[in-house]
Amino acid sequence: MQRLEWKKKVVPESGVEQFVNYDEDTETELMMLPTDLALLEDESFRPWVKRYAEDKEAFFVDFAEVFAKLIELGIQRDAEGRITNADNVGGGYHSAPKKKDTAGAPRKSNEEADPLRRENEKFQRSNGQVRAKL
């Protein structure tokens, strides 16, 4: 990221601004978003970009630690690692319910979208657009 030359590119279909580096040896284009390259411009982030560019293992160690912290926000564990605050009072933890192993009925899973679907079909009919029913 630090050593490559980045050129601004606007995606014609969407108008989204990106930055690209074209590797002539592999004939591939690497893309970065403005937010990615902003890390190089920010005084407080630049040292981290440099550190992790020089030591990938340090990045993986730090990432694993903070990601585990992120996904366990509010979870308290005992010495054996068991969750101790399984109530929902004061930040307790409840895991999401297990989904079924088999797919559900497609029409039932989309019932809340039905009013909008009917409105869209009505609009399309009124404008002479024909659409096959799903």
Give the pLDDT band (50/70/90) at residue 55: very high
- Is residue 19 a contact partner of residue 33, using CB atoms and an 8 Å limit? yes
> Which of the pair, 3 or 19, is modelled with greater confidence?
19
How does pLDDT run across 63-94, given as a tens digit for each residue?
Answer: 999 998 888 777 777 888 887 776 655 555 56
* DSSP sequence for the chain: --SS--EEEE-TTT--EEEEEEETTTTEEEEE-HHHHHHHH-TTTHHHHHHHHH-HHHHHHHHHHHHHHHHTTT--B-TTS-B---SSSSS---PPPPPPSS---TTGGGGGGHHHHHHHHHHHHHTT------
Residue 1 is predicted with a pLDDT of: 82
Structure tokens at 126: 């009124």
Q: Which residue has the tokens 């319910």?
A: 97
Task: Give the span between the Cα atoms of 134 and 132, in whole angstroms.
Answer: 6
**Residue entry with tokens 């580096």:** 21
Q: Residue range 58-64: average pLDDT?
A: 96
* Residues above pLDDT 70, as percent of the chain: 73
Confidence (pLDDT) at 46: 92
Q: Is the pTM of this model over 0.85?
A: no
